[in-house]
Structure 1
Amino acid sequence: MSVIRSAGLRGFRATVAELGANAEQFATACGLPIAALDTDDLLIPDHALAAVLELAAQQLDCPDLGLRISRRQDLDMLGPLALAIRNSPSLTHVLECTARYLFLHARALTLTPEPDPYGDRGVIALRYGLPPGFPTPIQGTDLGLAFVHRTIQRLVDHSYGLLSVELPYHPAAPIARYEEFFGAPIRINRPYAALRVPRNLPTRPLSGGDENLHRLAMAFLAEQAGGADASVVTEVRATVQQLLGTIPPEIGAVARLLTVHPRTLQRRLAAEGTSFATILDEARRDEARRYLTTTDMPMSQVASLIGLSEQSTFTRCARRWWGTTPTAIRRAGAPAKA
């Protein structure tokens, strides 16, 4: 299983409301936390995001839902990657940093330039989507291609010479709707999703960028991605904290996100003097402390948000962490030291 930042759902709530429905019902049906509709940095299963788009499109009889949502999204949803993109000197730099760091937004998604599938040497294809072998969600792919298209338009001041849009499926919405949106021919049932553009497009310079900001953003992205000297404990702790309350924070899920085998991850943690179970327990303790002292959430909800299925389990953990109950911690305003 792979994950994506909940920023990918920007605009979903508003678009669904515009169509006369409640986005929270669709989120619940697909196992997504309601908070994912209103915040950018939750890690949610990418298949659940794809499912909620497909479900809403079907039940609302809105086959162009992905295109509609894209109009409510902007580059800021990519977080630090957006800063690097906005301050890139050319589209070549945009494509390079996107290819290198898009995984920080969505682990499995890629955007890569490839030779033209029709053999035209003056054309390249900006291939978008999941790796080969993965299913291609229609609404999710529509949304992603539309986002890439509108981002390039903004970066190069609208027109960039889009030649055609390649879709690996036959969309339910009329082809004319896609042609109106993209302003280019649509070709269906192709091997993969892509935007075909002039080969010289990446060399076009971009105005308004700041070279220093671009360099700083790239350095920050490199740090977020984890360099050779990065502590695996720090990476695991950050990943576990993001997974809490979204999907079960199991070592297998964390290892997949960090692209290592679970046994390798355990060995690296042991080399740094700790274990996955210890890091998970500490993350739960710290998050529980934050929820208890800064919110009035019900205890059952706090337990769920730190990945515990039972409130009684939460109570036992609290006694082990602080020697008292969650209620006592909340009343005191801050937990006693372990």
Structure 2
Amino acid sequence: MTGNIELPSTSTAVQRSPLAPPPGRGLPPGCIHLGVPKEIVSTLRDLGIDPDPVIREVGLDPRLFDDAENVISHAALGRLLTLCVARTNCPHFGLLAGQRATILSLGLVGRLMQHSETVGDALRALVSNLSIQNRGAVSALMIDKDVVLFSYAVYQPEAESADQISDEALALAVNAIRALCGSGWTPAEVLLPRAAPADLGPYRRHFRAPVRFNQESAAIVLPARDLDRRIPGADHMIRALLEERIEQLKGGWGSEFSDDIRRLLRTRLTSHRCSAGDIADLLAMHRRTLSRRLKDGGMGYRAIANETRFEIARQLLQDTEVPLGQIAAALGYSESSAFTRAFRRWSGQTPTAWRAEGHFG
């Protein structure tokens, strides 16, 4: 019956995370539902590793992973993936975990995607509503003539294993689009912000498309015509119910303005003008209003923007072989020397020294 929809229950027989939001509430900043990360458990088992000791080693209760509605911090997810890579000696662990996930791993957002009219509507629903599932990363949809880029980026400061998280996210995104378009769908290409691995086979087998490594961002490239594909079985009544439930969750914790600005900056810093005035104009508010709202939360715009620049630079230096000049240009610096001076202020080291030491987290 189209008028009845079984929404995910908030009850569970297992211990819930201390960070789990109360029933009917949204996620606090920096947290993620375990819908996708719970596939880490099965992936470890497939690779011959008992997951429980690994999970305990990063300070988590293994029982949390029994319920996709449970919540952990994004920082804990990064630490867990770092340890999983070390224990399994598998540099593409995140990809393996992500390819096990399905569109329903995205919870209410995945269901909304299934009942969207077109693939374009589904991807816009994912971009607009990811924050009820994941408050440690942000996605964006960019259309340039006949080409579309669906991008994904971790924006939490000093997040570990951003490369593994990006692999996991894009593997899932491809699975989600295939669920809407058919199993034979393939992207035009896939962009990954990580150095090329010795074994390209796992990436080629899953994506079935050209994969470009050492990119500035994680993205799936697809033809714009794919956005117009109709989704079989989409039900407008179910869609309306899901949209209402999602809007309730979005307002449950209240919006933390500084977190909203971080998410916005993470998707725009490498491709748009991002002065305080530019962001204020984008949000249709006066620059003084933007500054006042941020200062009420304890941080100014410049500090948040520099924190975001540092996080982007850190991820690219750590996970890719992108040249320093290219990183500097992507972050809006006219000269590499200006970027080097800024990075030294943020970290106490030059970018070259940071990369050479192989920092993690």
Identify the TM-score tier after normalising by the shorter chain.
0.5 to 0.7
Normalised by the length of structure 1, the TM-score is 0.63
1:295-310 to structure 2, matched below 5 A, reads none
Of the structure 1 ranges 132-141 and 206-215, higher mean CA displacement relative to structure 2 is found in 132-141
- The count of aligned residue pairs is 238
**SS of the residue 1:110 aligns to:** strand
Question: Counterpart of 2:253?
Answer: 235
Amino acid in the other structure paired with 1:98: L
1:191 and 2:191 matched: no
- What is the CA deviation profile of residues 279-336 of structure 1, one whole-angstrom value per residue up to 9, with x for unaligned ones? xxxxxxxxxxxxxxxxxxxxxxxxxxxxxxxxxxxxxxxxxxxxxxxxxxxxxxxxxx
Aligned 8 A contact 1:10 1:72 in 2: no
In structure 1, the gaps of 5 or more residues are: 227-233, 240-253, 266-338
- The percent identity for this pair of structures is 21
Over 3 Å counting, the alpha-carbon distance change for 1:108 and 1:14 in structure 2 is: closer
User: What's the offset of the Cα at 1:96?
Assistant: 1.9
The whole-number CA distance in structure 1 between the counterparts of 2:210 and 2:157 is 26
Question: Counterpart of 1:2?
Answer: 30
Match of 1:87 among 85, 98, 115: 115
Over 3 Å counting, the alpha-carbon distance change for 1:132 and 1:35 in structure 2 is: closer
In structure 2, the gaps of 5 or more residues are: 1-28, 262-292, 299-361
Question: Counterpart of 2:168?
Answer: 143
Amino acid in the other structure paired with 2:103: L
User: What's the offset of the Cα at 1:168?
Assistant: 0.9
Question: Counterpart of 2:152?
Answer: 128
Amino acid in the other structure paired with 1:127: S
The whole-number CA distance in structure 1 between the counterparts of 2:138 and 2:92 is 22
Amino acid in the other structure paired with 1:48: A
Over 3 Å counting, the alpha-carbon distance change for 1:225 and 1:53 in structure 2 is: same
> Higher relative CO (CA 8 A, sep ≥ 6), structure 1 or 2?
2
User: What's the offset of the Cα at 1:174?
Assistant: 1.3
- What is the CA deviation profile of residues 246-283 of structure 1, one whole-angstrom value per residue up to 9, with x for unaligned ones? xxxxxxxx897798879679xxxxxxxxxxxxxxxxxx
Question: Counterpart of 1:24?
Answer: 52
1:1-338 to structure 2, matched below 5 A, reads 2-115=30-143, 121-131=145-155, 137-172=162-197, 174-226=199-251, 235=253
**SS of the residue 1:92 aligns to:** helix
- What is the CA deviation profile of residues 108-143 of structure 1, one whole-angstrom value per residue up to 9, with x for unaligned ones? 322221246xxxx32121111224976562221111
**SS of the residue 1:152 aligns to:** helix
User: What's the offset of the Cα at 1:3?
Assistant: 1.0
User: What's the offset of the Cα at 1:146?
Assistant: 0.1
The whole-number CA distance in structure 2 between the counterparts of 1:109 and 1:57 is 20
Normalised by the length of structure 2, the TM-score is 0.60
Divergent runs of 4+, >4 A: 132-136, 254-265
Question: Counterpart of 1:325?
Answer: none
